[in-house]
Amino acid sequence: MEFLNILPNLVSAFEIKKGSIVLLQFWGDNKDIDFLDKFAIEIAKIGGIPIKHQFSREYLKDYFSQVTNENLEFPENYFKVFGLADTIIDICMYTPVIAHKDFPKDKTAAYKNHMRNLFSTVSSSEKKLIQLRVPTEQNAVEAGLEVAVYNETLLAAYNINYSELKLTSSNLLNKLNNKKVVTITTDEINTLSFDLGNRQWFKDDGTGDMPCGEIYIAPIEESANGKILLPRIELEDNSYENVTLGFKNGKVSASSEKAVLEFFKNVPENADTIGELGIGLNKHVKKLIGLDLTDEKCIGTAHIALGMNIMFGGKNNCPFHADFVFKPDELKIDEIVVIENGILVI
């Protein structure tokens, strides 16, 4: 199955309104430019007005290498051009922002400043932001996964019934809205509980990070107490398996893995605080491969995150966010059992 074959179905999930200006930010080199052209045409077919803008690692390396610092200053009006779009779609043939391996080190500050100004312009809360990673060898390598596994998993996750997902997400939000207390049991003995207060649930059903398929919420930051068993934790390129995390008043207070506990003793303020609960809904993601991008969408899974949650209704604005995916024995919100033995039952 080729990615281009499922592109019409994929684009239908974006809910682009007729006449909307859609900025396509293409993170790819010239050899793949025909992919951007085909993507733009699909956007036009559903009524959007596409604007193509390419971020080629090769071009940016040459640009910043050959242009003097005095001519690397971009006026404010330059960035305002990008602010005209109603929807911004990042199409990623490789990891965004990361520069070419031969990028001139003395121009790194100028490059980072350029990207910072760009993202502050396009990340307005009034705009729809969609980021889509294409199944490519480069993306697989940068994710540290086998190419076949990475590409197969992404293609399956993208090739879903989006109308069904949107309906499922909306119905689930309606059932859980105004519910307060989350209780999670793992390996039959560890139980973690926390409060949702009056926080709002959000759905990821095709108008945000892709591939999609989850609902999520920011818990009350001080409310988490108890323990949870996590099958895998990755921190600063180190991986730990079957780790128990203990929480007291919202913060990590204990761990079965000494290195994990030490890590959270030395993070920025509030990076050790519970920040998110998510529930996976994508029926075509059926196994965990060590990639948060798809793992947290896997049907029957849940994930908690530590750190930043201000973007979706929380109050924690620290420069850290890490997701940990697991299949709970039971996840209950008030009286409603949502997941039981790794199966979505609601």
Could you state, in chain order, the average pLDDT of each consecutive group of 10 residues for the chain (346 residues)?
Answer: 88 95 96 95 97 95 94 89 91 94 94 90 79 95 94 95 96 95 93 96 93 97 97 89 96 95 91 96 92 93 96 92 94 96 90
Phi then psi for residue 331, to 5 deg, are -125, 115
> Residue 113: what residue type?
N
Token pair of 252 as six digits: 């990590």
Token pair of 15 as six digits: 């809910």
- pTM comes to 0.89
Q: What is the pLDDT of residue 104?
A: 95
Q: What is the pLDDT of residue 125?
A: 61
Hey, how many other C-beta atoms are within 10 angstroms of the C-beta on 308?
22
Residue 160's contacts (CB-CB under 8 Å, 6 or more residues apart) are: 213, 282, 283, 284
Q: What is the pLDDT of residue 219?
A: 98
Q: What is the pLDDT of residue 124?
A: 66
Q: What is the pLDDT of residue 208?
A: 87
CA–CA gap between residue 333 and residue 281 (Å, rounded): 17
Rg (CA), the chain: 21
C-alpha distances in Å from residue 345, one per residue of 121, 158, 318, 325: 41, 23, 34, 18
Residue 96's contacts (CB-CB under 8 Å, 6 or more residues apart) are: 25, 27, 55, 90, 131
Q: What is the pLDDT of residue 299?
A: 94
Token pair of 121 as six digits: 């312009």
Contacts of 334-338 with C-beta under 8 Å, sequence gap 24+, read 334/179, 334/180, 334/181, 336/175, 336/176, 336/179, 338/176, 338/279
